[in-house]
């Protein structure tokens, strides 16, 4: 399944990816032709009402991965390794990654480069396919000082290119970029040999991802936030508004990604 997807991506077909946390939506996403269902640790916010992803546990990720796998047994499922489940040492990372695979994931996603390059290599060597998450990495939101675009200076851009190359050399099968300049994402996509997925990274990536609730326009911030105080991120688009039904919104998202009509400049940096 994963190999078919990578072959499609190599032939130039854009990858349409969405987050998914339960069986009902998994079924709808599969029906709409979404290529990859991401069991994201964004579930900390959109499902659990937290203000960031840091409190999400392995148990949470296993549970939601099972639900998604139940609803979409023929879809590629990517699951986030939650904060604290992979950074300490490679053996812990492997044990936890294998638990997510056993729950139904086909590949796992880890945030950052640096020490995580060796971790990615170790997982891949032990048969766990990996996606690297670079750019804005939500598990480091405190260290990064908030939701900020990454890779803006020439030095930061060079470092991000080098990180992506190191991750590709370590054997990851995809690299995801969150909130980086569109021009940089395009340049890296043209440089590295593995497909790239963007969220707030412009149209030059090999594929796109959105948080499902953002696409449906139903996320209004963490539980303690008033809906009117919440501003959706620049890269989000409410597809439900125009489509009028969930199923059509999902189909139109897939179509917009495949034809390059999403994202537009207004969603990018």
Annotated binding-site ranges for 3-methyl-2-oxobutanoate: 41-42, 80, 109
Site for Na ion in 137-196 (CB under 5 A): none
Asked if 82 touches Na ion (CB under 5 A), the answer is: no
- Give the Cα-Cα-Cα angle 78, 84, 88 (nearest 5 degrees): 110
Q: What is the number of the residue whose Cβ is closest to ligand KIV?
A: 40
Asked if 198 touches Na ion (CB under 5 A), the answer is: no
Give the list of residues 6+ apart from residue 53 with CB closer than 8 angstroms, or none: 41, 42, 44, 45, 80, 82, 83, 138, 139, 141
Asked if 214 touches Na ion (CB under 5 A), the answer is: no
Using alpha carbons, select from 100, 12, 92, 17 the residue that is nearest to residue 59: 100
Which of helix, strand or coil describes residue 226? coil
Please report how close the Cβ of residue 12 comes to Na ion at its closest, in angstroms.
27
Structure tokens belonging to residue 30: 């599969």
CB-count exposure of residue 207 (10 Å: 0-12, 13-18, 19+)? buried
Residue 199 binding partner per list ligand KIV, Na ion, none, with a CB distance cut-off of 5 to 8 Å that depends on partner kind: ligand KIV
Please report how close the Cβ of residue 109 comes to Na ion at its closest, in angstroms.
7
* Total number of residues that touch Na ion (CB under 5 A): 3
Residues that bind ligand KIV (CB under 6 A): 19, 38, 40-42, 80, 176, 178, 199, 209, 211
Binding-site entries for Mg(2+): 41, 80, 111
Residue 163 binding partner per list ligand KIV, Na ion, none, with a CB distance cut-off of 5 to 8 Å that depends on partner kind: none
Strand partners, 135: 178
The residue (of 178 and 240) whose beta carbon lies closer to ligand KIV is 178
Alpha helices (H) in 103-210, listed in sequence order:
116-125, 154-170, 182-191
Asked if 41 touches Na ion (CB under 5 A), the answer is: yes
Q: Which stretch binds Na ion (CB under 5 A): 23-31, 76-84, 212-220, 221-229?
A: 76-84
Using alpha carbons, select from 111, 69, 75 the residue that is nearest to residue 2: 75
CB-count exposure of residue 188 (10 Å: 0-12, 13-18, 19+)? buried
Please report how close the Cβ of residue 42 comes to Na ion at its closest, in angstroms.
5
Say whether 178 is catalytic: yes
Please report how close the Cβ of residue 20 comes to Na ion at its closest, in angstroms.
12
Binding-site entries: 41-42, 80, 109, 111
- The active-site residue out of 125, 178, 224, 255 is 178
Which DSSP string do the residues of 68-127 spell out, in sequence order?
A: HHHH-TTSEEEEEPPTTSSSS-HHHHHHHHHHHHHTT-SEEEEE-STTHHHHHHHHHHTT
Please report how close the Cβ of residue 54 comes to Na ion at its closest, in angstroms.
11
Residue 173 CB neighbours (<10 A): 19
Among 28, 36, 79, 80, contact with Na ion (rule: CB under 5 A): 80
Q: Which stretch binds Na ion (CB under 5 A): 15-23, 33-41, 183-191, 249-257?
A: 33-41
Q: Which residues are catalytic?
A: 178
- Residues of this chain that interact with Na ion (CB under 5 A) are 40-41, 80
């Amino acid at each position: 399944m994963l190999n078919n997807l990578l072959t499609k991506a190599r032939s130039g077909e854009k990858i349409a990816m969405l987050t998914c946390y339960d069986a009902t939506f998994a079924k709808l996403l599969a029906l709409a032709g979404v290529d990859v269902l991401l069991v994201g640790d964004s579930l900390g916010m959109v499902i659990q009402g937290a203000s960031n992803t840091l409190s999400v546990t392995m148990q949470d990720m296993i549970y939601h991965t099972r639900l998604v796998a139940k609803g979409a047994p023929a879809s590629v499922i990517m699951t986030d390794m939650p904060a604290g489940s992979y950074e300490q040492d490679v053996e812990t990372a492997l044990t936890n990654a294998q638990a997510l695979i056993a729950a139904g994931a086909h590949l796992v996603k880890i945030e950052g480069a640096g020490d995580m390059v060796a971790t990615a290599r170790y997982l891949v060597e032990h048969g766990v396919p990996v996606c690297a998450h670079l750019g804005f990495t939500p598990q480091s939101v405190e260290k990064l000082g908030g939701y900020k675009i990454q890779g803006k200076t020439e030095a930061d851009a060079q470092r991000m290119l080098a990180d992506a190359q190191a991750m590709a050399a370590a054997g990851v099968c995809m690299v995801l970029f969150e909130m980086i300049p569109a021009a940089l994402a395009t340049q890296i996509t043209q440089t590295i040999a593995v497909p790239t997925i963007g969220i707030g990274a412009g149209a030059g990536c090999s594929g796109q991802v959105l948080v499902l609730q953002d696409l449906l326009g139903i996320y209004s911030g963490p539980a303690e936030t008033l809906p009117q105080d919440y501003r959706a991120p620049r890269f989000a688009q409410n597809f439900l508004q125009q489509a009028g039904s969930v199923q059509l919104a999902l189909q139109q998202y897939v179509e917009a990604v495949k034809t390059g009509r999403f994202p537009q400049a207004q969603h990018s940096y």
